[in-house]
Amino acid sequence: MLLGSLRAIFLGEVDVPAAHREAISVARRHAFHALAPMAAIHSLLNAVVLTAAFWQEPTMPLVFVWTYTSAVLVFIRMREAKRHVPLADCAAEERRIVRYTLFSGALWGAIIIALMMSSGPQHMLLLGVLTAAILCVGALLHSSFPAASLGYSVLVGGGACIGMVLGGHAWSASAMLLLAGCVMALQRFAANSDTNFVRRHISAAALTEAKETMSLLLNDFEAHSADWLWRIDAHGRLGQASQRFIDATGLPADILEGGSILALFAPESAQQLDTVLKQKKSFRDEVLRVQIGGHEAWWSISGQPTADGGWRGVCSDVTRSRDTEARIAYVTEYDSLTDLANRAMLVRQLEIAQEAAETRGEGFALFVIDLDNFKALNDTQGHPAGDAFLKMVAQRLRDCVGPAAFLARLGGDEFAVMQRDMLTEEAAELADLIVDALLAPVTINGKDILAGGSVGVAMAPDNGTDPAILMKNAELALYRAKAQGRGCARFFEAGMDEVARIRADLETDLRSALAEEAMDVYFQPLVNTRTRKVSGYETLLRWNRPGHGLISPALFISCAEETGIIVPLGDWVIRKAIEEAAQWREDVTVAINLSPAQMKNPSLVATVVGALAASQLDPSRLEIEIVESVLMDETEHNIRTLHALRELGVKIALDDFGTGYSSLSYLRAFPFDKIKIDQRFVRDIDTSTENQAIVRAIISLARDLKMRVTAEGVENEQQAAILAGLGCTEVQGFLYSRPVPASELEKKDPAARQSASVLHMRRRA
C-alpha cells in the first residue's frame, strides 16, 4: 500500500481509459518535442558556460566532449521530432524517448561527478547552479513522462551527490539533503503536471465528444423532426434559419434572416409573443397564429433567453393537430379507414336496441361479416391494396344494406350490420344479398380481386338481447359459415353452443396432456443429397387424445396458440427434443419449429440454454425453424431473440420459404443459416417446369447468400433426383420416412431407399 502511495506521488499513475491511451500517448510526445528547442538552447548554453569556466583547467577536454555530446543529443531529438511516427510505432517511440532521457541524465550526472571531484571552491557555485538548472529544465522537459523524469533527476542529482562526497567538499551532507529535497519536489511537480495533463485531455475529449454528439443530435433533429430551431438577437431579429424554418414560412432565407420574428404572426399572437419575450423567462408551448401573406397556420413555440440578451428555442407546426383535436370525438366512434362506426359505437347502438326489445318487444337482427381470404390479399398485394379493398367493401356494404341499417367495422376484415324491426325471412334475404355483393370482383390497381365473405346472423330476442351474448352468438354462426366452405350465411342455432363447448373441452384436455406429459415427440429425417445419409431430424408433435385417438396437429396447435398453451407446450418440446438428440451420433442435427407466440416469450432463450446445458448437446447441432410471420410481429424483439440464439451457436432456418409476399426482405433482416422450400413447390416439381424454375432460383439465391437449402415434401425418387441435380442440400419427405417416435429411429434407413437416379441426375446437372 505504501509502495502504491509513493508511485502515485512521484509517478502520477493516472488510470487512463483504453479509449484515450493512443491519443494521450501522441499528445505526450508532442508536448515533449515542443519543449525540445528550449532544452537544446539550455544545453548549448551550459556547454558554452562550462567551456569558458574550465578553459584553463585540466578537465577541459572532458568538459568539451561531455557537454557538447549532450547538446548534440538534444538537437538530434529536435530533428527526430519532425519525423512522422506511424500509430503502430507509438510505443516504440515512447521507449526511445525514455532511453534518450536516461542516457542524457547519465551524461550530465557523469560530468558533474567529474567536475566536482576535481574542482576547487571557485567553481562549486557554478556547478551548484548548473545542477539546479539541469534538474529544473529536465523536470519541465520530461513532465509528460514521469518515469523518465524520475530517472533523469536521480541520475543528475545522484551524480552531484557522488561528486560532492568524492570531492570532499564542505557542507556536502547539507547540500546533498537540499538536493534530495529538490529532486523530490521537482519529481512531484512532474507527476502532478502529467496527472493534470491527462485529466485535461480526457476532459477536453469528453467535451469534444459532447459537442459532436450535440451537433449530431441537432442535425438529426433538423433532418428528421417536424420541428425546427429558431434564434433571435436582443432586438428580436432572426438569425440563421434552417431549411425547415424556411419551408414552414415560405419565405426566402435572405428575407427571413434579419427580419423581426413578430412580423411572422397575426397581430394578437405577435402581441402575445412580445409580452412573453419581455418577461425574460423561459416559456413552453405557446400556441400562436401565423399570418404570412395569404398563408395561415398555427405554431407551437418554446424558448429560453441567451446570455447575449437574445432568445433561442424550438418551433413546430400544430395546425394539423388542432384539426385533429376537432376530430377526436369522431375518431372515438368511427373507423378512420372506412368512415364506418367502430365496435364501441355498435355496442351502444345494440344497448339502445336491447332497451327497445325489452320494453316494447321490438326485434332486431345482428349480422357479423368476415371477408374470406383477405390475409392472402394482404400478403400478395400489400397493405395499401388491402386498405383500398376494405374501403371499397365498406362502400359496397353501404349500398347493400341501405340507410336504415347500422353498419360498423369491428376491426381487421370484420364488419357488422344491425337492422331493427326485421323478421327472420327478411334477415335471410339481406344476408344472401350481402354474400352476393361481396362475391362480385373488386378492381385494385387494375386487377380484379375476388375475396368473398361469410356472414353469421343472430336474431333478437330469440337468440338473446344482451349485446355481449348477441355478438357471441353471431360470431358462432359466422364460424359455422366459414367451416362449411365460406362464401355463405348461417343463422345461430342452439347446437352451435355445443361446438364452443367442444372447443373448451379440447383446451381442457390439452392442458391436462401438457401437465401429464401425455404427448409424443416424433422425428422425420433430413437426408443429405450428396452423402445420402441422414443429416438431421425435424421435430414434430403428436397427441393421442384419450377417447379420441390421434388428433390433427393443425387442430390442437391452433387451439394451443389461441389459448396461450403453446408457450409451455413449446418449452416442453424443446427440452424433450434436445434430450433425445443428445443420444444421436454427433453429426446429426435436430430441428425444432417455433411459433410466433413462442418467439414473444421472454424466457425462450433461457429455456434453450437450460435444455442444452442439461443434455450437454453441442448448440451447433440444434436448428430453430421459424416462419416469416415471426418477423412480421414484434420484429425488433424477435430479431434480438434470434441473434441471442445464434450467439449460442444455434442455427436458424426460415421455414416455408416462398409462400409469403415478403420472404426475400426477411433474408436481409436476419442472416439465416438455412431456408426450407415449402412442399407446394416440391410436390409437382417432377411435372411442372414452373416449380422447377422457382426451386432453381431459390437454391441459387441461397448458394449466393451462403445458406443451406432443405426441400420438404419429397414423395418419389424423381423429385429427389431433380432436387439433388439442382444443388439442394437436404431433402425430407415420405419417400424416406414418415415421422416416427425416437424409439424407432434406428429401424429406419431412409438413405438406403434413395435411388441411384439421384446420383445420375446430379452428374447430368
Please give the pLDDT value at position 757.
35
Mean pLDDT of the chain: 80
Residues 667-689 pLDDT 10s: 777 788 999 998 888 988 988 88
Residues 445-460 pLDDT 10s: 777 777 789 999 999 9
Name the DSSP letter for residue 242: P
**Percent of the chain whose pLDDT exceeds 90:** 31
Average pLDDT, integer, range 51-77: 66
Residues 488-545 pLDDT 10s: 999 998 777 776 777 778 888 889 988 998 899 999 999 999 988 999 999 999 999 9
Please give the pLDDT value at position 86.
55
Is-cis flag, bond preceding 461, omega within 30?
Answer: yes
Residues 725-744 pLDDT 10s: 999 999 999 999 999 998 88
Q: Which of 100-109, 267-276, 386-395, 696-705 is predicted with the least confidence, judged by mean pLDDT?
A: 100-109
H or E stretch at 161: helix 146-167
Task: Give the pLDDT band of residue 83 (cuts 50, 70, 90).
Answer: low
Residues 466-475 pLDDT 10s: 999 999 999 9
Please give the pLDDT value at position 589.
95
Query: Is a pLDDT exceeding 80 seen at residue 117?
Result: no
**Higher pLDDT pick, 89 / 592:** 592
Query: Is a pLDDT exceeding 50 seen at residue 204?
Result: yes
H or E stretch at 185: helix 172-224
Residues 752-765 pLDDT 10s: 444 333 333 333 33
SS3 sequence of 412-423: CCEEEEEEECCC
Average pLDDT, integer, range 289-293: 85
Please give the pLDDT value at position 666.
66
Distance of alpha carbon 492 from alpha carbon 248, whole angstroms: 58
Domain boundaries, the chain: 2-205, 225-325, 334-493, 509-764
Minimal CA–CA distance to 130: which of 150, 147, 113, 149?
A: 113
Distance of alpha carbon 441 from alpha carbon 450, whole angstroms: 5
| Phi-psi map region of 712: left, alpha, beta (phi>0 left; psi -120 to 50 alpha) | beta
Distance of alpha carbon 265 from alpha carbon 752, whole angstroms: 86
Whether 195 and 210 have beta carbons less than 8 Å apart is answered as no
At the second CATH level, the architecture of 225-325 is 2-Layer Sandwich (3.30)
**Higher pLDDT pick, 531 / 80:** 531
Please give the pLDDT value at position 380.
64
Cell representation of residue 166: 568524492
Q: At which residue does the C-alpha cell 507527476 appear?
A: 191
Whether 532 and 514 have beta carbons less than 8 Å apart is answered as no
Whether 261 and 230 have beta carbons less than 8 Å apart is answered as yes
Please give the pLDDT value at position 765.
35
**Higher pLDDT pick, 266 / 194:** 266
Please give the pLDDT value at position 12.
61
Distance of alpha carbon 272 from alpha carbon 286, whole angstroms: 9
Contacts 24+ apart (CB under 8 A), 24-28: 24/198, 24/201, 24/202, 25/90, 25/91, 25/94, 26/90, 27/144, 27/197, 27/201, 28/94, 28/144, 28/145, 28/194, 28/197
Whether 489 and 435 have beta carbons less than 8 Å apart is answered as yes
**Higher pLDDT pick, 399 / 447:** 399
Please give the pLDDT value at position 752.
40
* Residue 640, CA distances (Å) to 596, 630, 670 in order: 14, 12, 10
Task: Give the pLDDT band of residue 548 (cuts 50, 70, 90).
Answer: confident
Look at the pTM and tell me if it is higher than 0.95.
Answer: no
Please give the pLDDT value at position 471.
93
Query: Is a pLDDT exceeding 50 seen at residue 699?
Result: yes
Distance of alpha carbon 221 from alpha carbon 209, whole angstroms: 18
Average pLDDT, integer, range 196-214: 67
The type of residue at 125 is: L
What 3-state class would DSSP assign to 119? coil
Query: Is a pLDDT exceeding 80 seen at residue 597?
Result: yes
Please give the pLDDT value at position 575.
94
Distance of alpha carbon 476 from alpha carbon 459, whole angstroms: 13
| 509-764 CATH fold | TIM Barrel (3.20.20)
Average pLDDT, integer, range 592-616: 91
Q: Which of 64-68, 332-336, 465-469 is predicted with the least confidence, judged by mean pLDDT?
A: 64-68
Distance of alpha carbon 225 from alpha carbon 317, whole angstroms: 11
Q: Which of 54-58, 397-401, 439-443 is predicted with the least confidence, judged by mean pLDDT?
A: 54-58
Q: At which residue does the C-alpha cell 364506418 appear?
A: 340
- CA pseudo-torsion sign 141, 143, 149, 150: positive
Whether 300 and 272 have beta carbons less than 8 Å apart is answered as no
**Higher pLDDT pick, 83 / 459:** 459
What 3-state class would DSSP assign to 581? helix
Q: Which of 10-19, 120-129, 174-183, 534-543 is predicted with the least confidence, judged by mean pLDDT?
A: 10-19
Write out the DSSP string of 697-710: HHHHHHHHTT-EEE
Q: Which of 43-47, 398-402, 643-647 is predicted with the least confidence, judged by mean pLDDT?
A: 43-47
Q: Which residues contact 316 (CB under 8 A, 6 or more apart)?
A: 226, 227, 228, 299, 300
Question: Residues for the chain: how many in total?
Answer: 765
Class of domain 334-493: alpha beta
Output b/e per residue, 429-460; b: 16+ Cβ within 10 A: ebbeebbeebeeebebeeeebebbbbbbbbbb
Average pLDDT, integer, range 697-723: 92
Whether 94 and 73 have beta carbons less than 8 Å apart is answered as no
Cell representation of residue 231: 434564434
Name the DSSP letter for residue 490: E
Please give the pLDDT value at position 95.
74
